[in-house]
């Protein structure tokens, strides 16, 4: 029920970076970017045969900033894009991004495939950020096929790398779990030759909520001849946003990823194990209740967002439990469940009585 500790690796590198920041100079990670791209693509299990087709940039404002920067870059490359395509119950910040950019937005239910003219789809490449729902491999394959047929560029928001496969750590290696996630979430778009932006958050993977290093944005160009133009667009957008001036935690993350990737991956594994352990306990205690389906193989990750009955907020808060309520839904952080099974059982009972 308590927060995990912040990444010891990134804390160590951040302290070192601060010690090197006593002079009033501009500092950047430019010299490390090629090595960082290889480290990120390797961590994500993307085959080396594709690496030369990716452009890497580090928006300063974490994972949401990576999505926002992707919108800027892709709209500058195609000014006919005037609407963000969103999955229902997706991350609320997408609508905020649309508003700030003076774009329309359109929500699509369930397993919908977004191909409308002028639409820039944002698909969550892993568990849905609010609900934990995981799209089936067949849906993802169909989305990739439709994107190539309609010449659609997409944004893949990967806030939770590998979290949809966390339960597999009981029988598989960390590398195999990340490879399975790649195969299901990213491979279909690569193999179909779909241009896409992959926005990755290090925050949840490496437990860096309090440090907030930069987001990671990888832009995939199937036609390598377009890379030079893409690089120009990226540099222009990053200069306009001020992301070329890096925070110390960003420089620390770059160095840690390049020099100590195995340590960061070991911490990522601990985060996945924590989620899998919590999901297992929830699944056990929710059997036979209205919440049982939330812990089936169709759901995974840090959060669930079941519907709440009328009056649920007051009832649950009166039990000194404090999930986030929005409209008629109750957002649960599954890792907040107590380790004591007796207390945990009572918490699950309260939620199951008020949510469905």
What is the pTM for the complete model shown?
A: 0.94
CA distances from 258 to 133, 136, 144, 162, 353 (A): 32, 33, 31, 20, 48
Q: What does the pLDDT look like over 267-286, one tens digit per residue?
A: 999 999 999 999 999 999 99
pLDDT of residue 246: 85
Residue with tokens 């989620």: 275
Q: Structure tokens of 104?
A: 């329309």
DSSP code for 4: P
**Measuring CA to CA, which residue among 300, 1, 294, 270 is closest to residue 163?**
300
Q: What does the pLDDT look like over 291-316, one tens digit per residue?
A: 999 999 999 999 999 999 999 999 99
**Per residue, what are the HEC states of 80-97?**
CCCEEEEECCCCCHHHHH
Give 243-280 as a DSSP string.
TTS--HHHHHHHHHHHH-HHHHHHHHHHHHHHHHHHHH
Q: What does the pLDDT look like over 85-102, one tens digit per residue?
A: 999 999 999 999 999 999
The stretch 177-202 carries a mean pLDDT of 97
Average pLDDT, the chain: 94
3-state helix, strand, coil in the chain (%, to 5): 50, 15, 35
Give 154-180 as a DSSP string.
EEEEESSTTGGGGGGGGTS-HHHHHHH
Instruction: Give me the phi and psi of 333, to 5 degrees please.
Output: -90, 110
pLDDT of residue 214: 87
List the beta bridge partners of residue 124: 157
Other C-beta atoms lying within 10 Å of the C-beta of residue 29: 19
pLDDT of residue 81: 97
What is the C-alpha to C-alpha distance for residues 228 and 123, in angstroms, rounded to an integer? 26
pLDDT of residue 352: 98
Given pLDDT bands bounded at 50, 70 and 90, which one contains residue 244? low
pLDDT of residue 243: 58
pLDDT of residue 241: 74
pLDDT at 46 over 80: yes
List the beta bridge partners of residue 355: 308
pLDDT at 1 over 70: no
What is the C-alpha to C-alpha distance for residues 228 and 237, in angstroms, rounded to an integer? 15
What is the C-alpha to C-alpha distance for residues 193 and 322, in angstroms, rounded to an integer? 45
Given pLDDT bands bounded at 50, 70 and 90, which one contains residue 139? very high
pLDDT of residue 15: 97
């Amino acid at each position: 029920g308590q927060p995990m500790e912040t990444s010891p690796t990134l804390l160590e590198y951040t302290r070192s970076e601060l010690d090197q920041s006593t002079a009033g100079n501009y500092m950047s990670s430019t010299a490390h970017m090629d090595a960082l791209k290889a480290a990120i693509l390797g961590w994500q299990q993307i085959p080396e045969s594709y690496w030369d087709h990716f452009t890497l940039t580090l928006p300063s404002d974490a994972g949401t900033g990576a999505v926002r920067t992707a919108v800027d870059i892709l709209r500058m490359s195609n000014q006919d894009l005037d609407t963000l395509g969103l999955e229902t119950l997706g991350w609320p910040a997408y609508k905020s991004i649309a508003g700030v950019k003076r774009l329309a937005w359109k929500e699509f239910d369930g397993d919908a495939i977004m191909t409308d003219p002028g639409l820039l789809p944002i698909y969550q490449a892993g568990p849905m950020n609010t609900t934990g729902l995981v799209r089936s491999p067949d849906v993802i394959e169909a989305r990739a096929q439709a994107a190539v047929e309609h010449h659609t560029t997409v944004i893949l928001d990967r806030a939770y790398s590998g979290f949809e496969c966390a339960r597999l750590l009981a029988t598989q290696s960390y590398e195999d779990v990340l490879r399975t996630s790649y195969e299901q979430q990213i491979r279909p778009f690569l193999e179909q030759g779909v241009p896409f932006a992959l926005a990755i958050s290090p925050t949840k993977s490496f437990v860096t909520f309090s440090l907030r290093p930069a987001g990671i944005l990888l832009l995939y160009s199937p036609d390598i001849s377009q890379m030079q133009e893409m690089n120009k667009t990226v540099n222009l957008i990053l200069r306009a946003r001020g992301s070329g001036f890096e925070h110390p935690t960003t420089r620390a993350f770059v160095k840690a990823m390049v020099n100590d990737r195995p340590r960061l991956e070991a911490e990522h594994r601990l985060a996945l194990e924590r989620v899998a352990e919590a999901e297992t306990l929830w699944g056990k205690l929710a059997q036979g209740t209205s919440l049982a389906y939330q812990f089936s193989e169709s759901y995974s990750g840090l959060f669930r967002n079941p519907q709440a009955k009328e009056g649920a907020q007051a009832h649950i808060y009166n039990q000194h439990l404090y999930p986030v309520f929005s409209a008629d839904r109750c957002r649960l952080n599954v890792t907040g469940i107590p380790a004591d099974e007796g207390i945990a059982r009572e918490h699950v009972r309260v939620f199951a009585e008020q949510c469905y």
